[in-house]
Amino acid sequence: MAGHAGTIRIVSTTPTKDAGPRHLAIYTGSFDPITLGHLDVLRRARSMFDEIVVAIGRNPEKAPLFEMEERAGMARDAIVADAIEGAAVRVETYEGLTVDFARRVGACAIIRGIRNSTDLANESQLAITNRKIAGIETVFIVSGEEYAYTSSSLIRQMAALGASIEQLATFVPPVVFDAIRSKQGDPAHPLGAFSRDPLVD
């Protein structure tokens, strides 16, 4: 279920329209962690909608690097630091189907970032399914070319394999950079334990 108590509203300084319907979209993903590629897509989307909900869901097929509330906190901090004008943004977490969450918040569209043709093929099928079963459209936003190979999965793999902080800094915002560095330095966390495992030295 979506947790409203843990959300924050980031209000744009751009004047909003007085008349006509408001268009709210959700930008969904696991955001584990949020990357500079995610922020690039969000930045582009803020000129298209009146309000955007960054919707952080749980992917049962992935072992998380950060807990849901950690991800939400980092997303909020990164969005505030980005300081881009446009649509109001808030961050929420949710459980269950994305289309059910979309209905709950009154979304007219789902935002998905596209990096390459593989993304497009996978997302197109999902977009058709969501339109068929829930009547909600999907808006594809092509990320900047500098983020074509940036993904949360890549960040998790690099962190787990002991990538240097300097390497990670080119992919993630400072708040995520700091959080990964903290976990790498914690021997109780899998990242810290892995980096100290003599079998991988």
CA distance linking residue 23 with residue 132, whole number of Å: 20
CA distance linking residue 166 with residue 19, whole number of Å: 48
Write down the residue that tokens 């810290």 correspond to.
Answer: 192
Percent over 90 (pLDDT), the chain: 52
Instruction: Determine, yes or no, domain membership for 174.
Output: no
Which pLDDT belongs to residue 63? 79
Amino acid at 123: E
pLDDT at residue 99 greater than cutoff 90: yes
Instruction: Determine, yes or no, domain membership for 75.
Output: yes
Instruction: Determine, yes or no, domain membership for 153.
Output: no
Confidence of residue 147 (pLDDT cuts 50, 70, 90): confident
Owning domain of residue 99 = 4-148
User: How many domains, in total, are found in the chain?
Assistant: 1
CATH for 85: 3.40.50.620
Average pLDDT, the chain: 83
Percent over 70 (pLDDT), the chain: 80
Instruction: Determine, yes or no, domain membership for 94.
Output: yes
Higher-pLDDT residue of 86, 3 = 86
Which pLDDT belongs to residue 200? 38
Backbone angles phi, psi at 27, to 5 degrees: -110, 105
Instruction: Determine, yes or no, domain membership for 189.
Output: no
| Count of beta carbons in the 10 Å neighbourhood of residue 22 | 13
CA distance linking residue 66 with residue 74, whole number of Å: 10
Cβ distance 88 to 10 under 8 Å?
yes
> Which positions are catalytic?
38, 62, 115, 152
Confidence of residue 120 (pLDDT cuts 50, 70, 90): very high
pTM: 0.80
Model pLDDT for residues 35-78, shown as the tens digit of each residue: 999 999 999 999 999 999 999 998 887 778 899 999 999 999 99
